[in-house]
């Protein structure tokens, strides 16, 4: 039986002093100008930022390389900062933004919410933060059971291989989670049982983010093209909250159309309840 998790002080399930940063760049090769794509009358980045703010974890910030994105974000009431265009990953971009706005180290937890998740559930963002109530965890993320057979062998669906850990007492019955042992594009683990789809949203302890961005890419990271493997190879601990569904990521025009349909259904349902 696993030993009890070293949780933070009683009553403090969601760590304090959280900062949500949404990296957004214009240079998508498959969908140019993606952050400003219209979904239900609003740019996609505004949908993401609104849902991030609804998680009620603290300050929400957009980190971008585009003056146009910055202007649009500020027009809709969100703070945005300009970052360099040449960053290799969203982690590098959010770290630059953090250095710009928090030189005094006021924020303990930095949450990276991808700018192409317009349907992300605010409760799922909060779930990732809640995992850091376990003081032994460096980085928290999300995963969901794979339900469609074709996803098991799809290399674009990243699988999380993990071991069960004590539930975080954030919700009634606890928040189930896994300790990540590996991430892969292959169908893993072998044999009967659930496979988990990794969702690329990360909640970092500040020191973990600082360590992560200063390390060079690792061997397995380069092989699998998965930056989170850099952290595992450096003996950093990643735990994942298990959620019920995968948010729709927008990578191409077909994804964008599905996101528009999803948001339209949400709006119609909300209107029917009035």
Ordered by where they begin, the domains of the chain are 17-116 (3.90.550.10), 121-246 (3.90.550.10)
Other beta carbons within 10 Å of 62: 30
Tell me if 98 sits within 8 A of 23, measured CB to CB.
no
pTM, full prediction: 0.92
Look at residue 196 in the predicted model and tell me its pLDDT.
98
Look at residue 13 in the predicted model and tell me its pLDDT.
55
Q: What is the pLDDT of residues 46-105, one digit of tens each?
A: 999 999 999 999 999 999 999 999 999 999 999 999 999 988 888 999 999 999 999 899
Q: Quote the tokens at residue 145.
A: 């059971």
Look at residue 271 in the predicted model and tell me its pLDDT.
82
User: Distance between CA 184 and CA 82 in Å, rounded?
Assistant: 33
User: Distance between CA 49 and CA 225 in Å, rounded?
Assistant: 27
Q: Which residues of the chain have pLDDT under 50?
A: 1-12
């Amino acid at each position: 039986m696993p030993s009890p998790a070293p949780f933070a002080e009683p009553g403090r399930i969601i760590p304090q002093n959280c900062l949500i940063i949404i990296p957004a760049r214009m240079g998508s090769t498959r969908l140019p100008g993606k952050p400003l794509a219209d979904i239900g009358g609003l740019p996609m980045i505004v949908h993401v930022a609104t849902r991030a703010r609804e998680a009620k974890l603290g300050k929400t910030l957009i980190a971008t390389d585009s003056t146009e994105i910055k202007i649009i974000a500020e027009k809709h009431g969100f703070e945005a900062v300009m970052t360099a265009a040449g960053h290799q990953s969203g982690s590098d971009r959010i770290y630059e933004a953090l250095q710009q706005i928090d030189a005094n180290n006021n924020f303990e937890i930095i949450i990276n919410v991808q700018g192409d998740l317009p349907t992300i559930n605010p409760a799922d963002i909060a779930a990732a933060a809640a995992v850091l109530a376990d003081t032994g965890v460096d980085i928290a993320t999300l995963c969901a059971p794979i339900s469609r057979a074709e996803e098991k062998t799809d290399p674009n669906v990243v699988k999380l291989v993990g071991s069960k850990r004590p539930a975080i007492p954030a919700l009634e019955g606890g928040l189930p989670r896994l300790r990540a042992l590996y991430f892969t594009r292959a169908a893993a683990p072998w044999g009967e049982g659930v496979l988990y789809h990794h969702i690329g949203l990360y909640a970092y302890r500040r020191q973990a983010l600082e360590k992560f961005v200063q390390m060079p890419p690792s061997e397995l990271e380069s092989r699998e093209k998965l930056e989170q493997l850099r952290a595992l190879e450096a003996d950093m601990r990643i735990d994942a909250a298990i959620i019920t569904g995968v948010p729709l990521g927008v990578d191409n025009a077909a994804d964008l159309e599905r996101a528009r349909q999803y948001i339209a259904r949400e709006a119609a349902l909300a209107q029917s309840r009035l």
